[in-house]
Amino acid sequence: MLTELSWGRYIYDVSNSKKGSGWFINRELSWLAFNHRVLQEASSPVNPVIERIRFLGIFSNNLDEFFRVRVANLQRVALVGNKATTTLGFDVKETLAEVSDRVVDLQAEYNVAFERAVADLAKNNIRFVNELELDEDQRAFSANYFKMKIRTHLVPIMIGQGGSFPDLLDGSLYLSVGLVLNKKGKHKTEYAILEVPRHLPRFLVLPSDGSEQVVAFIEDIIRLELPRIFGLFQPEEVVAFAIKVTRDAEIDMDDDLSRSLMEKMRRGVARRKQGDFVRFLYDTEMPKGMLKMLKRNLSLEESENVIPGSRYHNKKDLMDFPNLGRKDLMFARLDPLAHPHLLGKSSLLDQIGKRDILLHYPYHQFGQIVDILREAAIDPTVQSIKINLYRLAQNSQIINALMNASRNGKAVHVVIELSARFDEKHNIKVSNNLQQAGATVEFGVRGLKVHSKLFLITRQINRKIQRIAHVGTGNFHEEKAKVFCDFAFLTSNAQITSEVDRLFQFFSNNYERPVFRSLIVSPFGTRRTFSKLIQREMEHARAGKPARVLLKLNNLVDADMIRKLYAASGAGVRIDLIVRGICSLVPGVKGMSENIQVRSVIGRYLDHARIAVFANDGNPDYYLSSADWMTRNLDRRV
């Protein structure tokens, strides 16, 4: 859905701040506004109801990551002192308080959207039930499922029986259990904690009479069995309420020089599970005594991020809500197309050697990229394959093709980013597999994240060297390519491929600063080049020539680039921005940004490609990019 952004109270004047001049939108509140737009998709009757359920899962997953990363970072900064500010000049403690208030509002709106979606499912003969609503057959089915699938994975932890309070894992769902016991005529409540198994499906489809489909949350199946789980205590009553914690996702890398980067990363990932709390979510129906007990044991009394919720947490699992065979309640299937120049029995590499090819996912088949690497793995003319990797599918065909190439005697050189957030563990595993297959594996450049999406295939044909390059906006990830809108540019252009090769040389020998003419590479020239291109449009506007800048980004945060866009607007340049996520620029302010229009695209697919277009007096320049206009992308990533 294409919408103009409504900023409301998220606009702030920080002209007197240390970071200086102009108007900006608070980054964190802008992100929450973005996630609110995702929530609006979950409420939109335009979307089929099962897709609305899945949008609710996306919203929840987004919010989890926001707390793990952004809120955690703000809490660390707040420890510096009372006057700590963000890079755009906003008071950190005030921002944390506003975030907390806004999240409570969003949580309430989310609960309403969930109840509406559940009601609409019921209208379509799909009914959610809890443990009290099961008929006799469903209870028997649930009891058997519990016995066969769930029971062996449950580890009840009693509170106050000599042991310490359990370490609650980030992202796990727990039941806080209250046992009402009768001891010598006096009632006493004992407490226990029970983790809901993470590896089991969250939703259980129950038997029904055929007129409807019945679905239950797995924790309700556990609730049904609580009297038997705690039968030892002979409780008069057993109650259970869902809780969830979110922890700081920052990885603490030790300074032990004797350890390799991979070992440091492995240890850091393991420690992440015990990061500081940044959010505690609980059921509003929870008794006050139970909530007090939990807050005391978790030292949460002073926390601003104790957030009331509904009966069910961890609703990110709604992203995997079963389709139940109801195609009428989902988006119509759209099969990706094969690019016509990558069809047939002829060599794919030969086809790219004849012409440049642009793929657009998910409308084109990502599998053709896999096919190119598979062909390169067995093509006798191929000497080497170089590739840099950031995020990968769990069972990556890309990795299989690279391992096959190495086993076939090709020189396979892989630059893999170990610190791709939340993918560190998988990337460590992939690195080991590649090394065992004989590939050369490097871990990027110290102090920089390698975020580019490149590969380079070198061939020798009739004693001549030919290079084939891939320059993309998205990861080499088969599953993400089904839902992320991204571009992949394939070329044998000598200038471009030589510069891609130069960049791979920099990854291995980064003591010398490379020079590029066709590529714009962070951190060497992206900020400078785009600033010059904006300046050129300003000069055209002042000369009375048509002047326009079109940017499509995931996030626009960098203060200097925002000020540059404000200056261009003041010079008369028309600026159209399509920003999916965070936008700290304020559009439409007279005397500052009246020539700037901002829109956001939220919908079935995740708009991920970054595009920049500069009118250049009728001879426009077009750029594809893997970098947003954020300080880290411009200055600290490749």
One DSSP character per residue, 53-66 reads: HHHHHHHHHHHHHH
Residue 257 phi, psi (nearest 5): -70, -15
In a domain, 89, yes or no: yes
Q: Is 463 helix (H, G, I), strand (E, B) or coil?
A: coil
Counting every residue written for the chain, the total comes to 638
DSSP element (H, E) containing 574: strand 574-579
Residue 216 phi, psi (nearest 5): -130, 150
- Helix (H), strand (E), coil (C) string for 171-218: CCEEEEEEEEEEECCEEEEEEEEEECCCCCCCEEEECCCCCCEEEEEH
In a domain, 515, yes or no: no
Residues 379 and 288 in one domain: no
- The strand pairing partners of 440, in sequence order, are 413
pLDDT of residue 614: 97
Q: How far apart are CA 43 and CA 53, in angstroms?
A: 9
With beta carbons less than 8 A apart as the criterion, state whether 194 and 174 touch. yes
Q: Are strands 382-389 and 277-283 parallel, antiparallel or unpaired?
A: unpaired
Question: Which domain-ending residue is among 456, 475, 508?
Answer: 508
pLDDT digits (tens, 9 = 90+) for 136-160: 999 999 999 999 999 999 999 998 7
In a domain, 561, yes or no: yes
pLDDT of residue 272: 42
Confidence of residue 513 (pLDDT cuts 50, 70, 90): confident
pLDDT digits (tens, 9 = 90+) for 3-31: 333 333 333 333 333 333 458 999 999 99
In a domain, 42, yes or no: yes
pLDDT of residue 85: 76
Average pLDDT over residues 369-392: 95
Cβ-based neighbours of 460, under 8 Å, separated by 6 or more: 381, 383, 466
In a domain, 516, yes or no: no
pTM: 0.87
Tell me which of 279 and 114 has the higher pLDDT. Answer: 114
Average pLDDT over residues 200-222: 94
Within its chain, how far is the Cα of 165 from the centroid? 31
Select from 554, 567, 565 the least CA-distant residue to 629: 554
pLDDT of residue 632: 87
DSSP 605: S
pLDDT of residue 10: 35
Tell whether the model's pLDDT for residue 544 goes beyond 50: yes
Which pair of tokens denotes residue 478? 């088969």
pLDDT of residue 161: 67
Residues 145 and 173 in one domain: yes
Residues 310 and 411 in one domain: no
pLDDT of residue 163: 66
Angle between helix axes 261-272 and 424-436 (nearest 10 degrees) is: 150
Per the structure, the count of domains in the chain is 4
Confidence of residue 304 (pLDDT cuts 50, 70, 90): low
pLDDT digits (tens, 9 = 90+) for 594-624: 999 999 989 999 999 999 999 999 999 999 9
DSSP 613: E
Question: Which domain-ending residue is among 79, 112, 145?
Answer: 112
Range of the domain at 472: 340-508
- Exposure pattern of 288-324 as b/e (b: 16+ CB <10 Å)? eebbebbbebbebeebbbbbebbebbbbbbbbebeeb
pLDDT of residue 186: 82
Dihedral over Cα of 396, 398, 401, 403: its sign: negative
Secondary structure (DSSP) of 316-364: GGGGG---TT-GGGSPPP-PPBPPGGG-SSS-HHHHHHHS-EEEEETTB
Given the residues 313, 339, 413, 451, select the one marked as catalytic. 451
Residues 363 and 504 in one domain: yes
Task: Establish whether 451 is a catalytic residue.
Answer: yes
Residues 373 and 397 in one domain: yes
The amino acid sitting at 382 is V
pLDDT of residue 287: 93
User: Chain-wide mean pLDDT for the chain?
Assistant: 87
pLDDT of residue 257: 38
Lowest-pLDDT choice from 82-91, 310-319, 617-626: 82-91
Determine if the peptide bond prior to 362 is cis (ω within 30°).
yes
Question: Which domain-ending residue is among 478, 508, 538?
Answer: 508
**What CATH number did the domain enclosing 424 receive?**
3.30.870.10
Determine if the peptide bond prior to 287 is cis (ω within 30°).
no
DSSP element (H, E) containing 436: helix 424-436
